[in-house]
Amino acid sequence: MSTLADVAREAGVSKATASRAMMRPDMVAASTLERVRAAAERLGFQPNRAARALTTGRTGMLGLIVPTLANPFFSPLVLGAQRAAEETDNHLLIGVSEYDAARESALAGRLCEQADGLVMVAPVGSDASLRAQASHRPLVLVDRRVGRLPAVVLDTSAGTAALVQHLCAFGHREIAYVSGPAGSWADAERRTAATEQAEADGGRLHILGPLDPTFDAGVAAARQLPPSVTGVVAYNSYLALGLLHGLTAAGIHVPRDLSLAAADDLNALGATDPPVTALDVPVEEAGALAVARLLEVHAGTRRTVTTRLPTHVLPRGSTAPPPGTAARTPHGAGHGA
Amino acid sequence: MSTLADVAREAGVSKATASRAMMRPDMVAASTLERVRAAAERLGFQPNRAARALTTGRTGMLGLIVPTLANPFFSPLVLGAQRAAEETDNHLLIGVSEYDAARESALAGRLCEQADGLVMVAPVGSDASLRAQASHRPLVLVDRRVGRLPAVVLDTSAGTAALVQHLCAFGHREIAYVSGPAGSWADAERRTAATEQAEADGGRLHILGPLDPTFDAGVAAARQLPPSVTGVVAYNSYLALGLLHGLTAAGIHVPRDLSLAAADDLNALGATDPPVTALDVPVEEAGALAVARLLEVHAGTRRTVTTRLPTHVLPRGSTAPPPGTAARTPHGAGHGA
DNA sequence: CTGAAAGCGCTAACAA
DNA sequence: TTGTTAGCGCTTTCAG
């Protein structure tokens, strides 16, 4: 591997000039620049990032901690982050916490050693531990807010409210929110939003759970729905899928007897029978944005801000007017946040 | 952030000794070791990896390139790799190629700059480009073989053969293999294995495809099956899921009218009705093993070897004797590779 | 606009 | 067993 010194020699300039040609082309005479570039090209020069990191203090690496990759929610997130990193000539160090707070914080510590900053997606750690982490290195949260720490939030709570509104517009009044996991920040947000929206629309919200956000839990939940309920909003797609299965198995037809919607969107929801009304969530964008924010924080360009990314109701076949209602189109459907 | 010099001063020793205390504890007097460790602890010392990399030539980073994260096959792979990296005090740089050869090779180039080696999972690039890559830096392939390059292969071809055998043992003779994507290495392997096994068992193998490995393609394929066929092995779970759906919709009952199996295993296959016979594939293990191999290659401990990880038939409800056969248990079922 | 020189924090001979 | 010394490859003052 050729070094900067090689390039400098080949181009007949000093190391300093060669370095400038790469870092600050505008500080170098055009002809010199040309020569250095040619030399670098000829030698296939690739700067040694470790050496660069040592002098500049920037490693060019960004840590990304996700709870899991098995949940398809996180794939586009990582992809978006990876692209954004790539575009800015950064690299992505990945860590999978498996929803374990201890593992998460250990990973954060390890990654920080080597990265310029950290993106933590839906972290499970305590506010205090995240604050501590942030005091150490630039930290951007995704789908979690802790005080004034910079965060990118997918606004599924507004989306959940929009879903409730969507149901109310159809004429539903007795609505159930099927909760996600106990202690989940996202679930708490969605639940609150659903409650407030139901109230605002003159409906009543029944809450089931907390539940594991799984297919099986959804199947079980289908048997627990209060009989008065005509519309259901599930914390996530897995629960919705389970609910759909459970309801169908119990002879309850969706959407004729009951309307069903999910507060996120797995592709699978579009392929069920009927397809399930859900939320369009810009996950990949969130990943990219988190990286962009992190870079800004690192550069000191940006104060601590939370960006909420809007989500939108994706009306599909699973929501309709409640039984015994003349069919009509809901007003206000299709617009979230 | 405190440096090694700080620790040395605090412990009253030279930098060299402090460094040795961390790197080669056995070369340092017990009492000195103790003092250095205490000092490091007190100062919260964390070695600067960039500096270390500069002197040792090892960055402590391993690149991992996957085609996508959306396919749940790759999640456990990444998890396994990440764990193995963690255990050996390495970090994982992730790249997502999106099945694009150009992007893949660009990523490989970028990651190499900074990593001690590369794991490429099911790469789409040409043999030549992979060879070139390998000549550059340690490279371990997963689920792809190129000449004598080190590789970890999930032995789904033996598994596919075992699946065919499983069907034959039930009495099936007319069997279809529903192919995966054109040009796929894994598909070619599985197809060949299926063909040979069918022949060995006195059956006949019909080949459908190549097909996109998607649910929809599976649905479509259900209509293309030759009428004589009583058993089907699909390239992967998505195709199998689609086939199941398409067959059921067409009034063909699985497994009464037709047996169905998949040459890999998504969790979803266990939850369908009937659950689909599939292959137990040690994906996480493959990820971990690839990292271990990479480290060995890097250390020069190991020559170029391909490790095949066995897969096993997971018999489920979707396979049974062909129509018009007295039910009986197949012999030899349940054992792959 | 360019060059000389001084490190960044660490490890690894080589001596002692 | 420990200390001294010399870099690893790069960026960046500071002069010229």
User: What's the confidence (pLDDT) of residue A184?
Assistant: 86
Torsion of CA A326, A331, A332, A333, to 10 degrees: 40
State phi, psi for B262 to the nearest 5 degrees: -120, 140
Residue with tokens 């020793």: B13
The fold of A61-154+283-312 is Rossmann fold (3.40.50)
Query: Shortest Cα distance from B306 to chain A (angstroms)?
Result: 26
Nearest CA distance, B141 vs chain A (angstrom): 20
Closest CA to A278 of A312, A322, A328: A312
The pLDDT assigned to B119 comes to: 97
Query: Which chain A residues in 119-158 lie under 8 Å from chain B, judged by CB atoms?
Result: none
Q: What does the pLDDT read at residue B332?
A: 42
- What confidence score (pLDDT) does residue B326 get? 58
In the numeric block, the tokens 């259901």 are attached to A232
Distance CA B95, CA A236 (A): 28
Question: Which one, of B250, B192, B264, lies nearest residue B221 by Cα?
Answer: B250
At residue A305, the pLDDT reads 85
pLDDT in tens, A25-63: 999 999 999 999 999 999 999 999 999 999 999 999 999
A258: its two tokens: 């009951």
> Start-end ranges of CATH 3.40.50.2300 in chain B?
61-154+283-312, 156-279
Give the model's confidence band at A337: pLDDT under 50 very low, under 70 low, under 90 confident, else very high: very low
pLDDT confidence band for A1 (50 / 70 / 90): confident
Mean pLDDT, to the nearest integer, of A275-289?
94
Q: Return the pLDDT at A267.
A: 72
B324: helix, coil or strand? Answer: coil
Nearest by Cα to A322 from A254, A248, A234, A230: A230
Report whether A302 contacts A150 (CB < 8 A): yes
Q: Which residues of chain B have pLDDT under 70?
A: 326-337
Q: B81 at the A interface (CB within 8 A)?
A: no
pLDDT at A326: 58
Exposure string (b/e) for B284-297, b if CB count within 10 Å is 16 or more? bbbbbbbbbbbbbb
**Contact between B68 and B38 (Cβ < 8 Å):** no
Distance of C1' in C1 from CA in A58, Å: 27
Closest-CA residue to B285 (of B158, B154, B98, B186): B154
Q: Average the pLDDT over each of A166-170, A191-195, A328-332 and give the range with the smallest value.
A: A328-332
The answer to whether A55 CB is within 7 Å of strand C is yes
Nearest residue by alpha-carbon distance to C1' of C9:
B51
The pLDDT value recorded for residue B162 is 96
Length of chain A: 337
Q: Which residues of B touch A48 (CB under 8 A)?
A: 54
How many whole angstroms separate alpha carbon B263 and alpha carbon A310?
A: 40
Judge whether A102 is closer than 8 Å to chain B, CB to CB.
no
Residues in chain B: 337
Angstrom distance, A99 CA to C2 C1': 55
Chain B residues 205-244 with a CB less than 8 Å from chain A: 215
Nearest to A96 among B53, B79, B110 (CB): B79
Question: Long-range contacts of range A47-53, CB-CB < 8 Å, 24 or more positions apart?
Answer: A47/A4, A47/A22, A47/B113, A48/A1, A48/A3, A48/B54, A49/B50, A49/B59, A49/B113, A49/B114, A50/B49, A50/B50, A50/B51, A50/B53, A50/B54, A50/B59, A50/B114, A51/B50, A51/B54, A53/B50
What CATH code would you report for B4-56? 1.10.260.40
Which of B54, B79, B215 is the closest to A51 by Cβ?
B54
Q: Does A111 touch chain B (CB under 8 A)?
A: yes
Distance CA B32, CA B12 (A): 9
By mean pLDDT, which of A139-153, A294-308, B108-122 is the weakest? A294-308
- pLDDT score of A63: 97
CA-nearest of A204, A268, A258, A206 to A236 is: A268
A117 CB burial (10 A radius; 0-12, 13-18, 19+): buried
Chain A residues whose beta carbon lies within 8 Å of the beta carbon of residue B93: 61, 91-94
Which residue type, as a one-letter code, is found at position B287? G
Using the structure, give the distance in angstroms from the CA atom of A294 to the C1' atom of D12, rounded to a whole number.
26
The answer to whether A81 contacts chain B (CB < 8 Å) is: no
Tokens of B11: 């412990």
Tell me where in chain B the CATH 1.10.260.40 domain(s) lie.
4-56
Contact residues, chain B, for A51 at CB < 8 Å: 50, 54
CB-CB neighbours of B326 under 10 Å: 6
Query: SS3 of A102, please?
Result: helix
- Using alpha carbons, select from A165, A231, A246 the residue that is nearest to residue A198: A165
Q: State residue A329's pLDDT score.
A: 47
Q: What are the C-alpha distances in Å from B186 to residues B147, B158, B240, B285, B318?
A: 15, 11, 16, 18, 23
Confirm whether pTM is higher than 0.95.
no
In whole angstroms, give the CA distance from residue B233 to residue B179.
9
CB-closest option in B50, B72, B75 to A50 = B50
B50 touches chain A (CB under 8 A): yes
What architecture does CATH give domain A156-279?
A: 3-Layer(aba) Sandwich (3.40)
Give contacts of A92 with chain B, Cβ < 8 Å: 93-95
Q: Which residues contact A321 (CB under 8 A, 6 or more apart)?
A: A170, A171, A172, A327, A328
- Residue whose CA lies closest to nucleotide C11 C1': B55
Question: The tokens of A218 are what?
Answer: 């959804």
Using pLDDT thresholds of 50, 70 and 90, give the confidence band for residue A79. Answer: very high
CB of B308 within 7 Å of some strand C atom:
no
